[in-house]
Amino acid sequence: MTDTTLDLARQIMACPSVTPNDAGCMDILGARLAAIGFSLEWLDRNGTRNLWARRGNTAPLFVFAGHTDVVPTGPLERWTSPPFAPEIRDGKLYGRGAADMKTGVAASVTAVEAFVAAHPDHPGSLAFLLTSDEEGDANDGTVAVTEALQARGEHLDYCIIGEPTSVNTLGDMIKNGRRGSLSGVLNVKGIQCHIAYPEKGRNPIHQAAPAIAELAATEWDQGNEYFPPTTWQISNIHGGTGATNVIPGQLEIKFNFRFSTASTPEGLQQRLCAILDSHGLEYEIKWTLGARPFLTGRGPLADAAIEAIRSVCGIETELSTTGGTSDGRFIAPICGQLLEIGPSNATSHKIDECIAVDAPAQLSAIYRRILEKILLA
């Protein structure tokens, strides 16, 4: 029997769609969707291909979201088989995008094809939000589509993103939220001078050290049922001229908060500055809010996903908010319930990226069962 999901995954994996290049993936996917009654709307921006495809005009609106771009391959000679010539061996599908996230995209398309074939007059509406700018700067992809949808007052009731979320076996973990990301560049000002005459200067490294220790020891929040506690980490630190006999005039520290819904970016900024002020530092900070946290608690979509994974895979799934950011941060503000459900994340972005060869068909079956639980209940 032909595995239509595996075939489609291999077809789009063969497209060398290194971000932000789509390399023809969306033409393949768009043709499949148009053939089952979807209207296609291209919302390209600054060279990024974005597709909004919709079938139906009634509520509720169920959306599958994903990206067709992949990260660069790395050294080709290190791949066992060419990254854009998908190959099956040892029970696995190999190639760039197998995990992140062309299998998820393919599975969502074949799930909808099967669902529409069985229920051509289904209640509600179906849509796809596809972009080729997720692995790069993410300035002109999903964010562009959600801005367009928001501008015309469109609201998504349910959304599944096919990002790789599983750990050891398909379905053992799904993401029902993501932490926020708040970064800062802190410049602590001192007075440069000869190191033999420290009384003539002010060493910003010495001044900042107690503040750094307090920041590292601070409990920002305790998290909650779904999120671990907020963390603060230094990623880069630099001070000095390179000479051994000069007290530096400034210290630069780059840091990041990964924060839960138990904190706000404004509150974290205020608390950090209060600690710096308490140590008498002269400083400047440039802040960058990369993402706000989002969460979908237990409800119709999460319950449907849990049941679908139990039915298809025979296991109990774990709801998790761990990991980095995703395009879900752009969709969540206009979506009632959002989950990320996909294959194993073990080899994402790695040389010889791969997933279990039976994962595409299983993932498609999970998606279809979720659709049935949500739209046909």
Q: Tens of pLDDT along 96-117?
A: 999 999 999 999 999 999 999 9
Computed on alpha carbons and rounded to an integer, the radius of gyration of the chain in Å comes to: 24
Residue pair 34/42 in contact (Cβ under 8 Å)? The answer is: no
Q: Is 349 annotated as a binding residue?
A: yes
Q: Is 100 annotated as a binding residue?
A: yes
Residue pair 133/19 in contact (Cβ under 8 Å)? The answer is: yes
Is 134 in the active site? yes
Q: Is 41 annotated as a binding residue?
A: no
The dihedral built from the CA positions of residue 36, 176, 100 and 134, taken in this order, carries a sign that is positive
Q: What pLDDT is attached to residue 2?
A: 60
Q: Tens of pLDDT along 247-264?
A: 999 999 999 999 999 999
Q: Which two tokens stand for residue 43?
A: 């919302």
Q: Tens of pLDDT along 184-221?
A: 999 999 999 999 999 999 999 999 999 999 999 999 99
Q: What pLDDT is attached to residue 377?
A: 81
Q: What pLDDT is attached to residue 324?
A: 85
Phi, psi of 270 (to 5 degrees): -65, -40
CB under 8 A, 24+ apart: contacts of 72-78: 72/18, 73/18, 74/351, 75/351, 78/351
Q: Which of 22, 113, 133, 134 is an active site residue?
A: 134
Q: Is 67 annotated as a binding residue?
A: yes
Q: What pLDDT is attached to residue 289?
A: 96
Residue 14 pLDDT greater than 50, yes or no: yes
Q: Which of 69, 133, 140, 340 is an active site residue?
A: 69
Q: Is 163 annotated as a binding residue?
A: yes
Q: What pLDDT is attached to residue 223?
A: 93
Residue 17 pLDDT greater than 80, yes or no: yes
For the full predicted model, state whether its pTM sits above 0.95. Answer: no
Is 69 in the active site? yes
